[in-house]
A = this chain, B = another copy of it.
Amino acid sequence: MSEQSRGADATAFVPGHVTGFFSPYPDDDPERAGSRGAGVTLSDGVRVTVQPADDAPRITLDGEDCPMAAVETVLSALDVADRARVIAEGDLPLGTGFGVSGAMALGTALAANRAFGCERSTNALVTLAHRAEVVAGTGLGDVVAQARGGVPIRLDPGAPAHGRLDAVPERARVEYLTLGDLSTAAVLAGDTDRLVTAGEAALSRLVDRPTLSTLLDESRRFADETGLVTDRLAEVLSAVDDAGGRASMAMLGETVFALGSGLSDAGYDATVCRTYDAGAHLADD
């Protein structure tokens, strides 16, 4: 791999991830910290290209400068922070509950490993990205879910050595509509007891009956019980209900996601994608 140690462009694709419900599990060890919960990974995601560069690290998202602590931490952990440029392009807005920050951390890990011949395993790269995201405070469970793909259930929190995943063996068309952003850090700094209680109950019911239908029902119940639904979200959710659809709120963003044609049936101009079968992967070979 001497050719790669000199550095060559590499690109990774990471699916978006919408969490439907969760309970946070902080820990002094960021590899053990994380969340339990469930969500859907999406065919809309982030393409992250890592390029060798001589100048200071520069991170762009859709052409705009976008400094991100988690991405910088990943580059440092791979010992390439002084010679990598990160160019991310995506379909999804940042800060609205699609796991874009997790996608950038994980995509950077996969692409930089390839570009610079770092010779780490997939679990090692997922662990780096999970640690970086937890330490940056931008997410707790997106990275491990995005590494798996499909409809991941996070049974136990943490990086691959500690966490445990299962999944709902279904796929679906997904629609989404973003109204605004919410701060993950602010919600996690608030009263998390309610999140833990509601999140644990939802997880237990999903494990008993692991279907997409249960996932949506439990996500909606979680959103209602935790009081995270804004007035604008409530209006959209109620319209989808009235049209006979199934929708809930992305944790954490002012975003509605629906199965099938739930949002368009209710008259909204929603973005359409699908659940994504694969976890994050290189995209350039």
Contacts and interface: CB of A to CB of B under 8 A. Distances in A.
Interface of A: 1, 110, 113-114, 119-125, 149-150, 153, 160, 166-173, 207, 209-211, 213, 277-279, 281-282, 285
Nearest to A206: B121
B166 A122 contact: yes
A11 to B, nearest CB: 11
Ranked 7 nearest A-B pairs via Cβ: A278-B278, A122-B167, A121-B210, A277-B278, A123-B166, A277-B281, A122-B169
Q: How many copies does the complex hold?
A: 2
Contact of A172 (B153, B171, B285): B285
B121 A207 contact: yes
Contacts of A168: 121-122
A1 B211 contact: yes
Dominant secondary structure of chain A at its interface with chain B: loop
A160 B282 CA distance: 25
A144 to B, nearest CB: 13
25 contacts: A113-B169, A114-B170, A119-B209, A119-B211, A120-B169, A121-B153, A121-B166, A121-B167, A121-B168, A121-B169, A121-B207, A122-B150, A122-B168, A122-B169, A123-B167, A124-B166, A149-B279, A150-B279, A169-B281, A169-B282, A170-B285, A171-B281, A171-B285, A278-B278, A278-B279
Nearest to A12: B169
Nearest to A167: B122
Contacts of A120: 169, 210
Nearest to A149: B278
A281 B153 CA distance: 16
Given A120-B169, A120-B210, A122-B168, 6 more contacts: A121-B153, A121-B166, A122-B167, A122-B210, A123-B167, A173-B285
A236 B168 CA distance: 43
Contacts of A153: 121
